[in-house]
Amino acid sequence: MSKMVEVRWHGRGGQGAKTASLLLADAAFNTGKFVQGFPEYGPERMGAPITAYNRISDERCPIHSNIYEPDYVVVVDATLLSAVDVTGGLKKEGAIIINSAKSPEELKPLLEGYEGGVYTIDAGKIAEEEIGRNIPNTPMLGAVVKVSGVIPEDEFFKDMEASMHHKFANKPHVIEGNMKALKRSMQEVKGL
């Protein structure tokens, strides 16, 4: 099989981690890839830790299990760092991307010796300023596309703009904020 990129999302119920994983699948699909986007289902409730996954590749992936050795981990809620083993199995050639106002240097000690890339993005702030509500999934999506390079950036922008025009046909004022949030997250994500 050709190179496959595997992403694991950690969030809390209600924050949109599942939606973000489906958006990433959509964006990758639209650039010609084979995709999987799926959450781990259980008795979901608001605020409980949830996990979602993506596989992105050039051929159809036959595997239908959870992801145990991801290339990238996205943490939508930084309070999970002390509650969940977010770096479990994460490849050291890969990276973790955390929604936090703190710097990668400040958060690295919480990652139990993880040797790979550590990135932070203040997705909550960007969402509040650009979209008007603390919905971190759009900026987190931008950050993961930037860090992973799994989708060419210009194609990603074009595609997101088109799909937002489709999705928010009745709410065009939302589109500009979301696109700004995407762009800002790609510029502001900080790495170590």
Partner 1 sequence: MGIRERLSGNEAVAVALKQIDPDVVAAYPITPSTEVPQYFAQFVADGQVNTEFVTVESEHSAMSACITATAAGGRSATITSACGLALMWELLYVASGSRLPVTLAVVNRALSGPININNDHSDSMGARDSGWIQLYSENNQEAYDNYIMSLRIAEHKDVMLPVMTCQDGFITSHAIENIELLEDDKVKKFVGEYKPEHSLLSGERLSIGPYDTPMFYFEHQYQRARAMVDSKKVILEVSKEFGELSGRHYGLFEEYKMEDAERAIIVLNSTAGTAKAVVDELRSKGEKVGIIKLRVFRPFPMEELAKALAHVKAVAVMDKAESFSGIGGPVFGDVRSACYELKTRPHIINYIYGLGGRDVPMSDIQIVFDALKEVVKNDNPGEIYRHVGVRGV
Q: What are the residues binding partner 1 (CB under 8 A)?
A: 1, 22, 25-26, 29, 34-39, 41-43, 60-66, 68
Using CA atoms in the order 10, 13, 16, 18, what is the torsion angle rounded to 10 degrees?
60
- The residue among 61 and 110 lying less far from partner 1, judged by its C-beta, is 61
**Distance in Å, CB of 50 to partner 1, minimum:** 13
**Distance in Å, CB of 26 to partner 1, minimum:** 7
**Distance in Å, CB of 28 to partner 1, minimum:** 9
**Distance in Å, CB of 64 to partner 1, minimum:** 4
**Distance in Å, CB of 175 to partner 1, minimum:** 22
- The residue among 24 and 147 lying less far from partner 1, judged by its C-beta, is 24
166-175: b or e for each residue (b if 16 or more CB lie within 10 Å)? eeeeeeeeeb
- The residue among 16 and 37 lying less far from partner 1, judged by its C-beta, is 37
- Look at the block and give the residue holding tokens 């479990």: 88
- The residue among 44 and 176 lying less far from partner 1, judged by its C-beta, is 44
- The residue among 66 and 103 lying less far from partner 1, judged by its C-beta, is 66
